[in-house]
Amino acid sequence: MKFGEFPLSQALGATLAHSVRLPSGLLKKGHILTQSDIQSLTENDIFHVMVAIFGPDDMTEDKVATHIAGHICGTHITCAEAFTGRVNLYAAADGLVTIDVTAVGALNHMDEAITLATVSPHAVVRKGQMVATVKIIPLAVKNEIVAQVTAQITTGLINLHPFQPQKILMIQTELAGGQEKLFAKSRKVMAHRLAEYGAGITDEVRCPHREADLSDLLTGRIDGGQDMILIMGASAITDRRDVIPAAITAAGGEVIHYGMPVDPGNLMLLAKLKGKWVLGLPGCSRSPKLNGIDLILSRICAGQEVTGPDIMNMGVGGLLSEYPGRPQPREPRKGAITMEKPKKIAALILAAGQSRRMGQDNKLLLPYGEETVLSHVLTQVRQAGLENIYGVTGHQRQAIEQEFSRHNVTAFHNDLYAEGMSTSVKLGIRSLPSDCDAVLIILGDMPNISADILKQIMTAYNPACDRSIIIPTYKGKRGNPILWDRAFFSDFEELAGDMGAKKLLGDYPEFIHEVDVGSDAIFLDIDTYEAYARLKNK
């Protein structure tokens, strides 16, 4: 192929390398010049053009792309028509993509003229989704190079494995005092996750979190109509000899692998019992966010075998980002050398309420010591070392904003305050700056909250140790304020009416850390004059 700027006398039948705009229209890149084109160019004082002139040993870009795409296209993959040297490959069904990674690398190393880009190996894709694209860089490639690809590169190197319908038995073990809401959430989340892979829960059973009970249940149910068994333990699996793996072994099963280099999802257990897959689920499976169990379920539901070495090879790319409680990569624990910046914690003061039970007075503006109730709370917040303080106003906006102004608090006004506390919480969370790592949500009518209590809560915050939601307690009872990591901010949108953030606590028990602050101040707020009088006297 000859390429360059040629006089029009040599350009007839050549292929334009760049588009040329004429009064009569656009001659696009790739256009083959005709005698009429040459005349139009001449009439517009264009006497040289950038073109490619092909020889007998050249194959045009579209033909090369079509040839290469057909060679690499595997099962359940379709190829689109070539355009400008490109052929896109699409999934013919929902499923899992497998790729011969070595062959892709070899193809891309053969010649810079030929490129192949694909989705990641074992990517979950939907019908019609692009899974790869072949792009030829120049306007033509030597025939011998194309022939080398055919001879040296594996055929069908990218394949789709459609998801196969799976019937799932879900077992949830329980300890004394187990919460029904948590069981229901676990099933709901898992049902949604399985639906993504064409599977569904056909039965759910509970049993005590004891080896003998679980072993008996597995023995009695393994010959049922299910294709796979998922076990959500009341307690995390911490060893191959723990309750769940021991029960599987006692029932005649085999533990294939325990643990995985994927975070979240480290504590996954993979086993087989009478030829059926049995999975011990990590606690993160209760979250709908992407985690290690997805990497296992997607393969099994696509009919793929999963081995211990397969799991051990998941480390590269195994640090998943879409995980509540760990929005950042795992951080070093105490004592490790680190250059990490300090966490930025904001305070969000809720001060929009109507104080209905106080009659005409706004409880936040009542005298308390030498300040108002709200001012006293803000003073403690400042003394705790919080610099990023935000407040939500609503009822008696002007007066509340004056209080905020005296303490350099940034105010957000909630026009919907009459619809309940949830509207203030959601507005406040949405309005926080994007560099905020966590928020301490503080009720404006808790004047006994001290700077010391706030410091205890903030000190306990450590998402690297799964301390992403910090709740103060006293004598075993939970109170306010509660600190929330940014990873959970989107969940606040679920709140409605007069719901507070406590509604969300049942969704993420594995990330909650309780701190006994040694004071009942975390319970005391002001709703009535009687409560106000008692606080002043005390």
The kind and range of the H/E element at 528 are none
Q: What is the per-residue pLDDT for 162?
A: 97
Burial label for 129, CB within 10 Å (0-12, 13-18, 19+), is middle
Q: Which amino acid is at 436?
A: C
CA distance linking residue 495 with residue 161, whole number of Å: 40
**pTM attached to this predicted model:** 0.63
Query: Has residue 9 got a pLDDT over 80?
Result: yes
Summarize pLDDT for 345-390 with one digit per residue, the tens: 999 999 888 766 565 667 788 887 788 889 989 999 999 999 899 9
Which 3 state secondary structure label does DSSP give 329?
Answer: coil
Estimate the crossing angle of helix 143-152 against helix 61-72, to 10 degrees.
0
Least confident of 66-70, 189-193, 369-373: 369-373
Query: Has residue 452 got a pLDDT over 70?
Result: yes
Overall average pLDDT of the 423-441 stretch: 92
Which residue has better confidence, 363 or 117?
117
Q: What is the per-residue pLDDT for 499?
A: 65
Q: Which two tokens stand for residue 279?
A: 């999975």
Query: Has residue 492 got a pLDDT over 60?
Result: yes
Q: What is the per-residue pLDDT for 496?
A: 80
Overall average pLDDT of the 232-250 stretch: 94
Is residue 166 within 8 Å of residue 198, measured between CB atoms?
yes
Nearest to 172 by CA among 40, 285, 91: 285
Is residue 232 within 8 Å of residue 206, measured between CB atoms?
no
**Eight-class DSSP state of 488:** G
CA distance linking residue 523 with residue 447, whole number of Å: 11
Overall average pLDDT of the 180-193 stretch: 88
Which residue has better confidence, 478 or 506?
478
Q: What is the per-residue pLDDT for 279?
A: 97
CA distance linking residue 198 with residue 124, whole number of Å: 12
Overall average pLDDT of the 108-125 stretch: 96
Q: Which domains does the chain have, with CATH numbers?
A: 2-53 (3.90.105.10), 58-162 (3.90.1170), 166-312 (3.40.980.10), 345-537 (3.90.550.10)
Overall average pLDDT of the 246-265 stretch: 95
Helix residue ranges, H only, 50-114:
61-72, 101-110
- As a three-state string, the secondary structure of 7-31 is EHHHCCCCEECCCEEECCEEECCCC
Nearest to 236 by CA among 188, 286, 307, 278: 286
Provide the mean pLDDT of the chain.
88
CA distance linking residue 439 with residue 116, whole number of Å: 45
CA distance linking residue 483 with residue 512, whole number of Å: 10
Query: Has residue 129 got a pLDDT over 90?
Result: yes
Q: What is the per-residue pLDDT for 328?
A: 39
CA dihedral in degrees (505, 509, 515, 516; nearest 10)?
80
**Which residue(s) pair with 482 in the sheet?**
441
